[in-house]
Amino acid sequence: MAWSSSLVVFLVTLLSIALLLLLYKQRSKESNSCIPFKWPVIGHLPSLIAQANKIHDWCVDILSHESSCSFMFHGPWFLKMNILLTCDPSNVNHIFKLNFSNYPKGDAFNEMFDILGNGIINTDGESWRFQRKLAHSLMNKHQFKISIVSRSREKAEKVLLPLLDQTAEQDKVIDLQDVFGRFTFDTSCSLVLGEDPACLAPDFPVMPFAKAVEEVEHALFLRHTVPVIWWKLKRLFKVGSEKKMFMAKKVINSFVDEIISNRRSDNCMTKSDYDLLTMYMKSLREDELWKGYFESDKYFLRDTLLSFLSDGRDTISVALTWFFWLVTMNPQAESKILEELRQDQVTRDVVGELVYLQAALCESLRLFPSIPFTRRSVLMADILPTGHRVLPEMMVVVPIYAMGRMKAIWGEDCMEFKPERWITEEGMIRHEPPNKFLSFNCGPRTCLHFNDDVHGKV
């Protein structure tokens, strides 16, 4: 009889949820308000579930109707899902810079992004400081900077452009996002691992690692749209998206572990000593500080390389895809970019002088940031500049996508693609503070190749 009682409880619960969703949809039809309805006990959760397929635009609708560009999302009280959504620049500056230590990524972030282990993206405190300092010292080496330019340019000139010319001549339709994803995957692997997998080729070969990364990204997105206990149960029993993520992890770890193992057998020798894997392996032999944060150098290298590969592959390919789409949709901007390119022989030394091109890139990142949102935990109770009170174990989410679409931040024309907004009267790139233009993060966690003095310059 016990099983039948459990079945009745389950069916009643299921019917209750279905009824709530139906009521929510009916209420949505009767109301023009963008502010989600707060249900007893379960809070705003039905709204989140209903809008999961267009969550970024949903955040735009909500925050654009709030004078402080902030909204307190209440989840079921028993699931600890209270989240402050905010894209107010003063709040961002407070969280990411002024009171940085009170807003770590936290254990919840680490567990959600468990694929990255204890790499620089996931960690806080001394471990993060050590990894950041080491990464900064290696990536600022003059030869590595030259390697970034030379390898990227070689791949573009010898592979990407000929491929695009060929498809144009044959009048073929291709997925440009897939092409840029392969391009950045090859260049990232070359710079990070010292090996080019030749993923970008006319026959578009299937790359298990790249496919696995896509499966992980999809599963991570779904984790953000459901209660934590739900995706943890799916992970425990390996079902649905979590089963796919489990299998994808095996592919990803195997790929990276094999690269590291082969490099050890080659005694760290590659065609160039200026890929990150080679530099890290040499650095770890000279400095053993890493032993205080990792079980072995194998885990350190794997977590570090995965972090760099993840950042390098996805952020750049997404940025390129949206940039070319926006330029295609705006012929006048395209003409100005081409005119500027014709006036200068584009070399490494003059790329920084292509003001309109840089402005168009900044405008593209404003409207379509590569990372559409970022999140932080709360250590101690705090009051933000907008007056919102945050408590320990709450989550603060900054929808970067929505931030670029706030009239209160960017003006009445915020939905328009206008590179001119980034150009001063003197014809120079306009500086925008990082707490307003968050595409490269803000404060101590600013992207390694950027700092507060160069934000707004791509």
- Euclidean distance between CA atoms 302 and 261, whole angstroms: 11
More confident of the two residues 346 and 148: 148
Residues forming beta bridges with residue 383, ordered by sequence position:
389
Residue 451 has a pLDDT of 46
More confident of the two residues 443 and 21: 443
Give the Cβ contact number of residue 364 at 10 Å. 25
Q: Is 447 annotated as a binding residue?
A: yes
> What percentage of residues in the chain have a pLDDT greater than 90?
59
Give the alpha-carbon dihedral of 404, 407, 410, 411, to 10 degrees: 150
More confident of the two residues 236 and 33: 236
Residues 6+ apart with CB under 8 A from 218: 241, 244
Closest listed residue to residue 447, CA positions, set 364, 371, 368: 371
Confidence tier at 282 by pLDDT (50, 70, 90): confident
- Euclidean distance between CA atoms 412 and 425, whole angstroms: 20
More confident of the two residues 77 and 56: 56
98 pLDDT above the threshold of 80: yes
Residue 348 has a pLDDT of 46
Tally DSSP H helices, then E strands, for the chain. 18, 6
Enumerate the domain spans of the chain.
1-30, 33-445
- Euclidean distance between CA atoms 193 and 92, whole angstroms: 34
Choose which CATH entry (3.40.50.720, 3.40.50.300, 1.10.630.10, 1.10.287.3240) describes domain 33-445: 1.10.630.10
pLDDT in tens, 99-154: 999 999 999 999 999 999 989 999 999 999 999 999 999 999 998 999 998 999 99
43 pLDDT above the threshold of 70: yes
Q: Any idea which of 35-44, 247-256, 448-457 has the lowest mean pLDDT?
A: 448-457
